[in-house]
Structure 1
Amino acid sequence: MVPLSDNLRGAALMTGAMAAFTFNDACMKALSDEVPFFQALFLRGLGTVALLALAATMLGGVRLRIPRRDMGFMLLRTGAEIGAAYFFITALFHAPLANVTAIIQAIPLSVTLAGALFLGEAVGWRRWLAIGIGFAGVLLIVRPGSEGVNIHSVYALVAVAFVTLRDLATRRLSGAVPSITVAFAAAAGVTLFAATGAAASDWAPMSGLSIIQLCAASILVIAGYLCSVMAMRVGEVAIVAPFRYTSLIWALALGVVIFGERPSGLTLAGAAIVVATGIYTFHRERRLARKPGPAPLRPR
């Protein structure tokens, strides 16, 4: 058997990560008819924190002593993670899976835009044009002003903004803060936020299927993060990162098969534009020999 190259392994891992994330989204969306929002988010959070704690133990534990310079960015990142989780899961509960997933694909464009505006990163006119065209594609998906516009599609856009803020805060963290500490803080923050909401709302009894879906969602989130991190470390970023868009294929398939969704032609056209401009941005960064920031990850 011919061994796979690093880039092929990276592409396979990124594809697996996107499948894990999208199946996690499908599990959470399937819960929306039976389990209240905060109850589902809290219980999934407990599972995620437990799995991260296990991973941290295996990797040497979470480092609690964080440099003072990094503390503010850690708090900002955790707050952004909470906002992203709230708006993303809310959108997922109410809007078509493919629509929400397509809007989330704008994250690489928004991170490039924010990096230029707030971190002074160099962005040429070609990428500025790609960003503008990409967000025009997002508007085709959301279609503001149309009779069929869904406010929860706007929630997905707000989630994009929070993920962008989270990634900017992540870029400002020093290497003294281990990745497992950052992930654990974010998961704990989201879980505490969900616990507050769950305590103030009614809980619903859960069927065996719902319990299985919640457990699967917790495992899939961790699997997605692990695969995405390994993918970015194994292969070249500019080659591996575009495979994150395979999540849209999974979302379209799951939306049709499980939820009976039929995306409109405008939604599909907008998604194609967002994906095309995102891939162009990745390859433009590679051509300019610039090191892109960490691959944006899906909200928990």
Structure 2
Amino acid sequence: MPGSSESLSHAIGLRLTSVALFATMNVGIKLVEARGASLGEILFWRQFGAALLVGSIVGGGPGFGSLRTRRFGAHIVRCVVGLTAMSLTFWTLLLLPLAEATTLGFSMPIFATVLGALVLHEATGWRRWAAVLTGFVGVIIVTQPGSGHIPPLGIATGLGAAFCTACISILLRTIGKTEAGLTTVFWFSVLSMVPLAPFYMMVAQPHPPLVWALLLGIGLLGGAAQIAMTRSLQLGDVSLVVPMDYTALLWATLFGWLVFATLPVASTWVGAPVIVASGLYIVWREHVRRRHGTERAIT
């Protein structure tokens, strides 16, 4: 029953699972790149594996007839923006340590607030604008522009990925009104193969069996994470599940230490909590705004 304590616990569990799966996928991305795989190959296998997984679930469950859509154009736009975001995210992972790359991704709610005000003309009070400003201060603390602490290209790709992900959140608000979660994930994965397949043919190269297994694992992990993330939003409010995303920094720090023998530098320890606090406040204010809107509609 939607809204019950059981469904809310399920939503939180799914979101935490998606974060852990994405974090594990990120480790795989860095490992295969270190073993010679290119960004183009990683992107192809990420989407190919996801398409296999989602196709198997749909074929063994509701059937492919359930994937019919009247919003094909919206799925194409989502695919273009999603592929751009994914490319920038993966590029950032290859340029930066896990913790720093993950922290830059936390600036997404900041961009989402700005886009919501400019594109959707959402009412945005001074409190949320203050949170946006605070979040950007946190980004400056982490990146320390001009210091050489983080490569400028890594900063650009990380913030670009966060911006594109914020654009996706705006698109999904409209797509999600008529499309099921599996439908959205399926069309994103399949449509992505159109540009990725010919590009992959140009950059494909032989690899040891371990790299092939890791590449397939990246796709399966990414697909499973995407399904869990989408399902969590069907069972629980954004204000409930999105804060779980910040556990990604714990996974990034742990994996960075265990797998790559790296820990976040001092500026990341200082700036990351500022960005997280900003994002949490933005999510909370969005919850308050929606609740007040519902109350006014009822009365």
Q: Name the TM tier (shorter chain).
A: 0.7 to 0.9
Corresponding position of 1:297: none
Give the C-alpha shift of residue 24 in structure 1.
0.8
Distance 2:65 2:97 in 1: 37
Note if contact 1:142-1:154 (Cα within 8 Å) is conserved in structure 2.
no
Are residues 85 and 237 of structure 1, via their aligned partners in 2, closer, same or farther at CA, if it must alter by over 3 Å?
Answer: closer
AA at the equivalent of 2:166: T
Q: Which amino acid aligns with 1:250?
A: W
2:228 corresponding residue in structure 1: 227
User: For structure 1, which runs of at least 5 residues remain unmatched after alignment?
Assistant: 293-300
The equivalences for 1:31-50 within 5 A come to 31-34=32-35, 35-50=37-52
- The alpha-carbon deviation at position 266 of structure 1 amounts to 0.8
1:116-135 matches, cutoff 5 A: 116-135=117-136
For residue 236 of structure 1, report the CA deviation from its aligned partner: 4.1
The residue that corresponds to 2:25 in the other structure is: 24
Match of 1:181 in 2: 183
Residues 141-199 of structure 1: CA deviation (Å, up to 9, x unaligned): 22222223311231111111211222222223374434333222221233333323322
Q: CA offsets, 1:207-259, max 9 Å, x none?
A: 23222222322221122122223333334432332111101110111011111
Which residue of the other structure, out of 58, 63, 81, is the alignment partner of 1:60? 63
- 1:254 matched to 2:258: no
Q: How many residues align?
A: 287
Aligned residues of 2:49 and 2:223 also touching (Cα < 8 A): no
SS at match of 2:43: helix
Q: Deviations over 1:111-146 (max 9, x none)?
A: 122111110111111011001111221222222222
The one-letter amino acid paired with 2:63 is: G
Q: Give the direction of change, closer, same or farther, for the CA distance of 1:82–1:230 in structure 2 (3 Å limit).
A: closer
Residues 74 and 169 in structure 1, CA contact (< 8 A), matched pair in contact too: no
159, 162, 169: which one aligns with 2:161: 159
The equivalent residue for 1:191 is 193
Structure 2 distance, partners of 1:37, 1:174, is: 30
- Contact preservation (8 Å) 1:62, 1:181: no
Amino acid at match of 2:64: G
1:269 deviation in Å? 1.6
Give, in angstroms, the shift of residue 80 of structure 1: 0.3
The structure-2 alpha-carbon separation of the partners of 1:38 and 1:106, relative to structure 1 and needing over 3 Å to count, comes to same
Matched with 2:245 is 244
CA separation of 1:233 and 1:183: change in aligned 2, threshold 3 A: closer
Task: Say which SS state the counterpart of residue 261 (structure 1) adopts.
Answer: coil
Superposition TM-score, scaled by structure 2 size: 0.87
Counterpart of 1:120 in 2: which secondary structure? coil
Structure 2 CA distance for aligned equivalents of residues 191 and 83 of structure 1: 14
1: CA distance, partners of 2:234 / 2:74: 24
Offset of 1:5 from its aligned partner?
A: 4.2
Question: 1:42 Cα shift?
Answer: 1.4
| Separation of aligned partners in 1, 2:231 and 2:286 | 21
Residues 291 and 90 (structure 1), Cα distance of their counterparts in 2 relative to 1, 3 Å cut: farther
1:84 aligns with: 85
Does the 8 A contact of 1:42 with 1:194 survive in 2? yes
Question: Is the partner of 2:78 in helix, strand or coil?
Answer: helix
Partner of 1:14: 15
The alpha carbon displacement at 1:52 in A equals 1.5
**3-state SS in 1 of match to 2:260:** coil
Q: Counterpart of 1:154 in structure 2: which amino acid?
A: A
* Mapped partners of 2:46, 2:84: distance in 1: 16
